[in-house]
Amino acid sequence: MRNVILFIRRYFTFFTFLFLQVASLWFLYSFNKFHQAQFLQSANELTGQVNSRYKKVENFFALGDENRRVHTLNDSLINLLPQQFAQVDTARQLVRDTVPTDTLNRYRRYYFRPAAVVYNSTSGEKNYIQIDRGSLHGITENMSVLNSDGAAVGVVVNVSPRFAQVMSLLHVRQKVNVALKKSGDFGTMEWDGADPGLLLVKGLPKSVAVKVGDSVVTSRYSFNFPPGYPVGTVAAIISDPGTNFFLLKVRPAARFYNLQYVFVVENLQYSEQAQLDEQSRRRIEDPKRNPR
């Protein structure tokens, strides 16, 4: 007996080695056999926590790609929304040589294209945004630009083959037709070049009940912007005693400081609308040249 104990004590290290080796092999083979390892459940909790922390860091570096993916997906879905279509009046339909309507007699009114912002400024009085889509991608002037959330950002003013320049809402010459979401009353949105956090809405009659916090959206009367997309929320109401209109200060819904991806929205009837508008103005305001 004493000899056995001596023997074990002498080779204790070796026995430890054997024991641990056998333990590892047992772990290994029981895992392979039954697809369940010893302590794997509880170990998974721990490794899972460490891994998820690491993943958080790693995700941070993949945010750009992820944003792009979500943005293009949104684009494909937004184009399917019913509000991008308008109903054709079937009572009196012109016969055309193409088929512009789908089977439900709807024709597309707005078309959304995704784009990435390559340059952006907010510090000046005339701020422009440059996007990486141009005439080669079908961008033309007067298309409106929304950010990823659908909030109004600006209007395309100049196009090169691969890039387009967008006049931001933060531009002193910008004028956008907007409406109160609650009542639909419309006004004109401008910017005075002072505070990039506040836009101005003029031309809203004092008879309209407006409160601080009301949403301002793009109006139905705008040629560029699809209706109902957020522009901002009312931050202050200034009642000018000299006129019959309110002056609203509006906090923009789009965050101009960190624009990454935007939608360029084409109103497919824009040229027709604009042409009609101009023709009628010319006819009315200059009746001599165009006698009625």
Partner 1 sequence: MSELIRNSIRFVLFLAFEIYVLNRVPHLHRFISPSLYFLFILWLPFSVSPRWLLSIAFVTGLTLDYFTQSPGLHAAACVLIAYVRPFLISVLTPRDSSDFNYREPSPQSLLWAPYFIYVLILTLLYHGWLVLLEWMSFGSFGDFLIKLIASTAISLLLIFTVELLFPRSMRFRTNVGG
Options 15-23, 179-187, 236-244, 284-292: segment touching partner 1 (CB under 8 A):
15-23
Q: How far is CA 171 from CA 108, 116, 183, 192, 267, in A?
A: 30, 20, 27, 8, 22
Closest by Cα among 235, 236, 68, 256 to 152: 256
What is Dmax (Cα atoms) for the chain? 129
Name beta bridge partners: 261.
116
Binding flag, residue 51, partner 1 (CB under 8 A): yes
Give the E-state strand segments of the chain in sequence order. 85-87, 106-108, 110-120, 126-131, 144-147, 152-159, 164-171, 176-180, 186-190, 199-205, 215-218, 230-239, 245-252, 261-267
Asked whether position 236 contacts partner 1 by CB under 8 A, the answer is no
Q: Is 46 in the site for partner 1 (CB under 8 A)?
A: yes
| Identified binder of partner 1 from the candidate list 6, 10, 38, 271, rule CB under 8 A | 38
Q: Which stretch binds partner 1 (CB under 8 A): 1-9, 27-35, 90-98, 198-206?
A: 27-35
CB of 70 to partner 1, least distance (A): 24
Least spacing, CB of residue 56 vs partner 1, in Å:
13
Subset of residues 52 to 91 that bind partner 1, contact rule: CB under 8 A: 54
Q: Does 11 bind partner 1 (CB under 8 A)?
A: no
Residues that bind partner 1 (CB under 8 A): 12-14, 16-17, 20-21, 23-29, 31-32, 37-40, 43-44, 46-47, 50-51, 54
